Structure formats: structure tokens, C-alpha cells
Amino acid sequence: MVLGAAAGGFVSGLAGFAFGLVSLGIWVWSIGPASAGPMVVFGSLLGQALSLRTVRHSLDLSRTLPFIAGGLLGVPAGVLLLHHIDPRGFKLTVGLILLVWCPAMLAAGNLPRVTVGFNFMVAGRESAGWRWADAAVGWIGGVMGGLGGLTGPAPVLWCALRGWDRDVQRAVFQSFNLVMQTVTMVTYLATGTIDGTTVRLLAIVAPAMVVPTLIGARLYRRFSDAAFRRLILILLTASGAVLVASTLPHLW
């Protein structure tokens, strides 16, 4: 358990996301689903909070708010869709998309940049078209979070496609994930999802991940924009592989 928390914390500090991707790969062998979900949310939330200061100079509430507003609207929609869509089939679809698209972008060397239809300015600022697009991506992230706990892929990919530098990208998707994870944790607490056993496990996770998270956040400063884009694509490819590997056996 300590190893999963430390490894997840390190990657979260380095990339700004992917705590669950790393930690669950270790915890799945010893932690039950009832505790694993809250533990991932708690670890992700703590990792976001500890490493957000790394990009504090790039935090811009006006840039992040459309994502958050869309995400808050999307989560309930995703929860409602649980009654109509097979979550495993949904996760498999997302995993296959990540497994095809992300390696293709790695092979291409450069990510395409989204500009068509949104590349005009109003009074020296980005047009409202961008804000609506950002909100739509946040909504998709919220839906994916409510349906399958996948708040990260959509905003992470979109921020990269926007052509922002690494600090701006990370500030946006990390702030978005921080709010989404907070909402999820509050929901867990309000519904009594977190029991005494899980609380004891969280008391082990928290101290185990603090130092690795801070080390990862410090190493992040050594990454160039290009290296950070490659890191994002590699982690998203790994996430796709995990989603496919975890859902195919059940679908068969």
C-alpha cells in the first residue's frame, strides 16, 4: 500500500495527474473496490494540492472557470448515464481511443494545434468561442468522471491541443481535477461511502505520498515544453492500456 501511494504521488507531482493510474496498478492486488475508489480520489486530491504551487504563477481563474463550470454540470449527467450505458464498454472505448491517438501523436513528434474557428480575438483577449469550447471539454470531463471516474483525459488532451506552454496546461487541468476530486470526496463523505477501514487506510496513504509528490513536482521544473507533451502522451497511452486490460476480461 505504501509503495502504491509513493509511486502514485511521485507521478502526480511530476505530471500533475495519473495518481490513480499508477497506484491502482499496485493496490489492485490487495485493496478491495470499496476502499480503492475513495483512496484514489483522496490521493489524487492530496497530490493536486501539494503540487499545484509548482505552477502557481500560471494560475488564471478566468481561464479555468469555463472548464470547472462545464465539469460541474457534466458530473450529474454522467451519473444519470450510468443507468443507460455499460460503464465497462464506455471505459473500453475510451481506452482504445487513447491507445490509437496518443501513440500516433508520439510518432508524429508534434501535437496538432486547435485554431480553426476560434482563432480570433476580442479586445485583446481570446474570444468567447474559446470559452464555450473549454466549457464543453470540461463538461465532457465531468460526464466521463460521473460515468467512469475519468475526469482527466479530456481536459489534459485539450490543453495540449490548445498550444499552451506546459505551466499553463498544468495549471488548468490540475485546477480542474482539484475541483472535481473535491466534489467527489465531499459526495463520498456525505453519503457515508468512506467507512472506518478506509479512514485507516487513508491515514497510511497521506504520509507515504507527501515526500514523493514534492520530489516529482521539483523534477517537473526540469522538463521542457516538448518533453512535458511527450510525458503527457505516454501517461495517457498507459492509461488507455490499463482501461482496455481491465475491461476486456469482464466483457468477454
pLDDT tens digits for range 41-99: 899 999 999 998 888 899 999 999 999 999 999 988 887 886 777 777 877 888 888 88
Quickly state the pLDDT bin for 123 (edges 50, 70, 90).
Answer: very low
pLDDT surpassing 90 at residue 217:
yes
Q: Which residue type does 44 have?
A: S
Q: Could you give the C-alpha distances from 85 to 45, 90, 93, 138, in angstroms and in order?
A: 27, 7, 12, 20
Helix/strand/coil percentages in the chain, nearest 5: 80, 0, 20
Kindly give, in sequence order, each residue whose CB lies less than 8 Å from that of residue 9, ignoring residues fewer than 6 positions away.
19, 43, 46, 47, 50, 208, 209, 210, 211, 212, 213, 216
Quickly state the pLDDT bin for 204 (edges 50, 70, 90).
Answer: very high
Q: Work out the average pLDDT over 200-220.
A: 93
